[in-house]
Structure 1
Amino acid sequence: MTPTIDTASDTASQDPWHDIRPYQDDEVAATLARLSEDKELLGALTRYRLPRMSRLMPRLSRSLASLVIKRETRGVTTVRDFQQRIAAYMQRMLRTSTDDFRVDGLDALDKDTAYLFIGNHRDISLDPAFVNYALYLSGRDTVRIAIGDNLLKKPYVTDLMRLNKSFIVPRSARGKRAMLAAYQNLSSYIRHSIQGDNHSIWMAQREGRAKDGIDVTDPAIIKMMTMAHRAENRKAPLGEAITELRLVPVSISYEYDPCDVQKARELKALKEDGGYEKSEFEDISSIVAGITGHKGRVHLRFGTPLDASFDTPDAVADEIDRQVLSGYHLFPSHYLALEALGESPELLDLGEVTEADRARFSARLAEVPDDLRSWWLRQYANPVLHCARSD
């Protein structure tokens, strides 16, 4: 009798993070070949780039899109190759949709050391993309990016994200035991990336974007990150796990958020209707809007690594909040929104607000539907209020 070979358990024993980790170099060719024939991806690309042709000649338009993907990825055999192609698009995006991009604090971090960058979260794809671009410009390796499985509803999206060094955060596991096991595995992977692979990671300070402009760290994220260390040594102080992970808070500030109207709509629905139902492709639309929409000026600040002095997840979260808010750059758009709301005049700092700033702000506000304006203004005004309260 021929024994049955359990390939799934064999794979798990050799590669315990196979289902959540980013793709490796030996998986790139097959993934790109799969993407170049994926009908959903090809359809999405043609609807965006060739809307008329995609309606009238869908098969031909998909064939053209497939040829473009094959041409653009010719010679791409490693994850690094893939990211270098993305870097070219990133530079083009910066030129067309960003007026200025400044980075502070990165020079103080060792080039050859892996860090767990934990930052405020405003945009699904852009927050880690700007972190990656800053690292790329300084000659450092890019990060592995934590992304919730709620965003990976389409196989082609999962492939694209994992090609771009994303790893999967489980949010849809059913049952307490399944969720605990999933988070233990995730924590183990994060620890392995920092300590074993010496490869940096980016994570958001809480689940979901801060749609109201208020940045607060969820202590549950800290608990998850340190699970692997605590499982190995339950008596070890929390600070030991924190220093092992080399947590570095990161602040990102956008002068304008390309998804601000959509966020205002969601905030209004949550307040007035008690809930908000996303459309099937809304997350994908948010990614596209974030990449292509005008952002004005963008400021990125890397903080300092946390030490072993923190003994509770809440204390760690408070320090992350302190560094994120102290590093957050307030633009004219933030002060002009507070002025428009007529609140906290003592916090207004209009010394560097130019007439051009006012004109841009007024033009942007004029495009916002009347019923969403207060929600739109609140997104930009809240960082001024929140930063002031943290002082």
Structure 2
Amino acid sequence: MSKFDSIRPYYDAEVNAAIRQIIDDPMLEAIMNFTFPNENPAHWKGLMRHTHSLRDFQINFIYPALMKVLEKSSDGLSTGGFEALEPNTAYLFISNHRDIILDTSLLNACLYEKGLVMTTSAIGDNLIKKPFLHILSRLNRNFAIRRGLTGRALFESSLLVSEYIHKSLLRENRSVWTAQREGRTKDGNDITQKGVLKMLTLAEEGQNPFGFFEKIRVVPVSISYEYDPTDILKMPELLAKSRDEKYVKSENEDFVNLLRGIMGTKKRIHIQVNGVLDEEIKEISQMDIPQSDKLTQLASLIDLKIWNGFKLWPSNYISYDLLHGKEEFASCYTKEEKEAFQKRLNEKVDTKNSELLKNFLSMYAYPIENSKKASAEMKKA
């Protein structure tokens, strides 16, 4: 047994047997009938029965499913910055996190199309409790992050994940995707948690854990959805947080968010690669400051890169103006775009509830606030 068996994706030798476990599952049939509406199910099932690698499963089934999702629920995907990446090279992609499945799936689709190394990707084990989803996630090269742990169990789990990420990047030349924080950003304020960066260094031996970042290639990624398909689903948690109340998820909440994220309206989507942080990490590493302060510096740097790379859509500008009762960005959207956004707002939110309305608008306005901060910092530099 491998020490990583409890969290790792399948090995290629295990793929075919795993596929055969779910090939007749109604959920897989629904996904594939959506993906290949004109095909007899016997056709895709025959192809699956002859699939023996993660890459083939991702390219022949996950990728076309994702293309169909984009066709049905978005107005297209644009990209920028991928020219900074080299083929046959492993990167640690750290991105803002808005959607459970799509963030990493869209990045991998772009990497595949551009002939770059696809990622193994972190996913919370709370999202894959259903046996079908657990198998599918492992076939899609996800590794599991255990949630809800404390104390020694949390440290041991974090160390195991760190060791797995080190092995992927440094020994297997496999890129890794992780969110900048634990869980999705609910309020639109994308901030890197220092704890995520600390976890990444746990497996680094010696007196300089931060040195791990010098051995790898760190790439901040900005993912921007014009409409967040799960925006209204995030409101109960935001309201509880604003009232200092403990929020308890309903039994199927994660699954509902997952489905809504996939099929809900997104309009336009943009993925921006914000360069490789080689020189910046060298500078931080050479600073005569404690390890903790180096992690703080790196977290702030990743924030600035992600904020600066964010694609600001009319929905962001409209929300900012509505929230602040101004027309500061009126030139950035049309009358029709504002009317369409307000129609969506009125359909989803009780606009007489000022707290709910403020939370909803803030979710879309925060990228403007953070973009302003990033611009101010860049000018100082």
TM-score w.r.t. length of structure 2: 0.86
Q: Is contact 1:149–1:172 with CA below 8 Å preserved after alignment?
A: no
**Structure 2: gaps spanning 5 or more residues:** 35-40, 286-293, 377-381
Report the CA distance shift for 1:219/1:355 in structure 2 as closer, same or farther (over 3 A).
same
Counterpart in 1 of 2:276? 305
Q: Is contact 2:93–2:176 with CA below 8 Å preserved after alignment?
A: yes
Q: Distance in 2 between matches of 1:36 and 1:281?
A: 23
Q: Distance in 2 between matches of 1:34 and 1:172?
A: 29
Q: Distance in 1 between matches of 2:213 and 2:27?
A: 45
Matches within 5 A, 1:289-304: 289-304=260-275
Q: Distance in 1 between matches of 2:255 and 2:118?
A: 23
Return the letter of the residue paired with 1:91. Answer: M
TM-aligned CA deviation for residue 388 of structure 1 = 1.5
Counterpart in 2 of 1:93? 69
Q: Distance in 1 between matches of 2:119 and 2:155?
A: 25
Q: 323, 326, 333: which is aligned to 1:353?
A: 333
Q: Distance in 2 between matches of 1:202 and 1:258?
A: 22
Q: Distance in 1 between matches of 2:157 and 2:320?
A: 42
1:236 counterpart = 2:211: no
3-state secondary structure, aligned to 1:127: helix
Report the CA distance shift for 1:127/1:373 in structure 2 as closer, same or farther (over 3 A).
same
1:364 counterpart = 2:344: yes
3-state secondary structure, aligned to 2:247: coil
Q: 358, 368, 375: which is aligned to 1:384?
A: 368
Counterpart in 2 of 1:42? 26
TM-aligned CA deviation for residue 181 of structure 1 = 1.8
Q: Is contact 1:36–1:69 with CA below 8 Å preserved after alignment?
A: no
Q: Is contact 1:147–1:169 with CA below 8 Å preserved after alignment?
A: yes
Q: Distance in 1 between matches of 2:181 and 2:191?
A: 7
Counterpart in 2 of 1:247? 218
Counterpart in 2 of 1:275? 246
Q: Is contact 1:332–1:350 with CA below 8 Å preserved after alignment?
A: no
Return the letter of the residue paired with 1:355. Answer: K
Q: Distance in 1 between matches of 2:45 and 2:76?
A: 33
Return the letter of the residue paired with 1:246. Answer: R
CA-atom RMSD in angstroms: 2.4
3-state secondary structure, aligned to 1:279: coil
CA deviation digits over 1:91-112, x for unaligned, max 9? 1111221213111111111112
Counterpart in 2 of 1:80? 55
Counterpart in 2 of 1:8? none
CA deviation digits over 1:108-145, x for unaligned, max 9? 11112100000001111111011111112112232111
3-state secondary structure, aligned to 2:143: strand
Q: Is contact 2:316–2:367 with CA below 8 Å preserved after alignment?
A: yes
CA deviation digits over 1:236-273, x for unaligned, max 9? 362x2112131111011110000001112321233347
Q: Distance in 2 between matches of 1:140 and 1:43?
A: 30
Counterpart in 2 of 1:199? 174
1:168 counterpart = 2:144: yes
1:262 counterpart = 2:233: yes
TM-aligned CA deviation for residue 349 of structure 1 = 2.4
**Structure 1: gaps spanning 5 or more residues:** 1-10, 51-65
Identity of aligned residues (%): 37
TM-aligned CA deviation for residue 308 of structure 1 = 2.0
